[in-house]
Structure 1
Amino acid sequence: MKHRTVGEVMSSEVVKAHPDTSLKELARLLTSHRISGLPVVDDDDKVMGVVSQTDLTRRQAARGRTGADRDRVLGALRRIARARPTAPALTAGGLMSSPAVTVHPEQRVVDAARIMERCHIDRLPVVDEEDRLIGITTRRDLLSVFLRTDEEIREDIAGAVCLHGPADDAGKLHIDVRDGVVTIEGAAGPEINTMALIRAAWRVDGVVGVVNRLAADRRDASSVWPSEL
């Protein structure tokens, strides 16, 4: 059973800044590349922090010049990009959030998604074993995992079935996948660990629900959700 990794979905072309990158240049990078944030790296390409639209517009908001909605945020960024430099100029080093939350390419996509949710962020710099920037992954990248076809999901679950019981017993089970919802039914032999099988099905990338209709577990033939496992 194959789990997608961050390295498989990340973008290796990263828009980045350095600590001395000016506020004006940061605003230009964000607006011209249509991104919501970028990593700040040192001369050795090690990630020092991350600058987001929020970091840049926070000053504008404090001065009553912008609001929370997207159009006003973009408008504020464009005004910053067009403004004449002022002294002392604000830089990425003073605006960035640090330390940066990062991931490694071998980490599972599902783990990266949980980090984003927990930290309330939309993008994660991807670093190597020496913390050097090698890519970036966004919520949109991670969502691609959940766009897998039902047949791809079914094949992975079929492999999990074989791991949790004899081939003869596993062959008696029927696996159906529709829009990411998995239904497993049939007469499970005594050597099949049904709960371990259901848990394994939940761990397959792209699965959004699992329905247990195995004859060996008739106490509750309703949908099995993660909170119950």
Structure 2
Amino acid sequence: MKRRTVQDVMTERVVTVNEDAPFAEIAETMAEHRISGVPVLDAAGRVTGMVTEADLLRKQEYKDGGARRPVLDRIRRRGEAEAKAAAVDARGLMSAPVVSVAPNTSIAQAARLLNGHGFKALPVVDDDGRLAGIVARRDLLRVFQRSDAEIRDEIIDDVLITKLWQDPADVDVRVEEGVVHLTGRVEQKSLIPIIVRLTAATEGVVDVVHALGYDHDDTRPAPYPRA
């Protein structure tokens, strides 16, 4: 089965602001649409940055000039944070360059980017840098909404038959709430970790539990023939 990409789960209708959008307008837009961030576009529709709730909160955070912050903390955060606190429009508030993904980015790669940077969402851009959509954490979780029957069918058809040329009668596949249970016997012991790995990589699989047996242990070197 074709692996889903960001394009399959992203939101295409995206709330955006331009670089000259004032602070109050951005805050009102985010509150109205109940979103935590907005892409910032230039006149050509290219993504130049992102403004998030955290960026807007700098204004409140630094109202007292940071006077009561520890000295080392003030020094460390003074640059970018205080610049955003003083900003009055999207150009000054936004984080740039923006971290983005292409429409054909895999779900796994997008998830790694979100987790690695601590973001809640990423803009999706085409080859020209123009906005194509936005992908959020909740979008990536859709892969875990597949039915147990759909997951089981893919494991049998794609993993056992297509990739490994295994007789599905030899391996029983049972899926409960995304957890795959594998039982049965295969010819070679070395096949077992491969089956488990490919099963775990199937979209929607939460965990793999196996009790697979084997007929021949091909993981041990053959004994030398006696002279």
TM-score range, shorter chain: 0.7 to 0.9
Q: How does 1:77-226 map to 2 (within 5 A)?
A: 90-158=88-156, 159-167=158-166, 169-190=167-188, 193-216=191-214
Render the CA deviation track for 1:67-88: whole Å, top value 9, x for unaligned. Answer: xxxxxxxxxxxxxxxxxxxxx9
Gaps of 5+ in 1: 65-87, 220-229
What corresponds to 1:50 in structure 2?
Answer: 50
Contact 1:182–1:210 (CA<8 Å) still a contact in 2?
A: yes
Find the aligned partners of 2:212 and 2:99 in 1 and give their Cα distance: 42
**Which of these two proteins has the greater Rg computed from alpha carbons?**
2
Q: Which residue of 2 aligns with 1:223?
A: none
One-letter code aligned to 1:151 = A
Q: How far off is 1:127 after superposition?
A: 0.7
1:124 is paired with a residue whose SS is: strand
1:205 deviates by 1.0
What percentage of residue pairs aligned between the two structures are identical? 39
Length, aligned pairs only? 196
1:57-116: CA deviations, max 9, x gaps?
11112226xxxxxxxxxxxxxxxxxxxxxxx97110100011111111111212211111
The answer for the alignment partner of 2:15 in structure 1 is 15
Shift of 1:14: 0.6
Q: Distance in 2 between matches of 1:216 and 1:133?
A: 52
Q: Separation in 2 of the partners of 1:149 and 1:164?
A: 22
Flag the 1:205–1:165 CA change in 2: closer, same or farther, 3 A.
Answer: closer
TM-score by length of 2: 0.80
Letter in 1 for 2:207: G
| SS of residue matched to 2:194 | helix
- Specify the SS of the correspondent of 1:188: strand
Q: Note closer, same or farther for the CA distance 1:110–1:29 as it changes in structure 2 (3 Å cut).
A: same
Give the C-alpha shift of residue 191 in structure 1: 8.9
Helix, strand or coil at the partner of 1:90: coil
In 1, distance between residues paired with 2:165 and 2:146? 28
RMSD over aligned Cα atoms? 2.3
